[in-house]
Structure 1
Amino acid sequence: MRISTTAILATGLLALLPACSSGLIANRDSPDEFAVQRQAPLVVPPDFALVPPAPGAPRPSDSSASQQALDALFPPQSRSAVETNTLNRAGTAEVSIRSTVGDPGTYTVNKGTTTRTILAAPEGDGQAARAVI
């Protein structure tokens, strides 16, 4: 009785052993579940005189998953008339504006000693602060 119980238990453990493998024996290439995207549903076009698409051309109504995510997070919004007018009046910045600002020959406005004093002040907890009128 003891031998048959041991044999049944050993056979059961041997049958379950392949489930514990981490890809050593049964190494399978599985698809990346995060790279799968849903296909757009099929629709009947209203015009049956459409020309067939060119071979290899992307589908016109299909967008990538990343573009769909961006559209969901940041929906396209139209600008108001005031915002459009402001942007038109502002124009475009020069391409080299960052280099021009960082150039030592660029003239800057001297804000005076007050600004320098504020920037050079030591950090504190505010207990010694006082207002002078």
Structure 2
Amino acid sequence: MRKLILAAGLVGSLSACGSSGLFDRERLDEFAVSRQAPLVIPPDFALVPPAPGAPSSATVDSGRAAMQAMFGGPAARSATEGAALDAAGRASAAPGIRSSAGDPNTPVVEMGGTTRDIIAAPEGDGEGARAATPQ
């Protein structure tokens, strides 16, 4: 009886080695590998040598060239937009104003306690907000 159980266990464990049959696994054929020809870049007869004094292609800013290709450069402003910028003081703006905006020595206008309270107020869901119209 023991030999029968041992033989059944041996057959059961060996059956896990194959998928459909005992020695019937699908494998890659390592002798079917063939070499492929290397890629060959055909000559481009449309290329011309660079003109004397022209900048080399290595000195061209690729980021700027990509932006120029995608967006086409700055668009002309309309008359209304130009008038609005002139009224806002486009010509009188200091060139380095953006770098000095966060400077602690930059003078700021005091807006008062109410503005400070609104900015410092915690964010809420708006459920407790009420609006009242003065009589």
The two structures have a TM-score, normalised by structure 2, of: 0.43
Identify the structure with bigger relative contact order (alpha carbons < 8 Å, sequence gap 6+): 1
The two structures have a TM-score, normalised by structure 1, of: 0.43
**Quick check: which has more Rg, 1 or 2?**
2
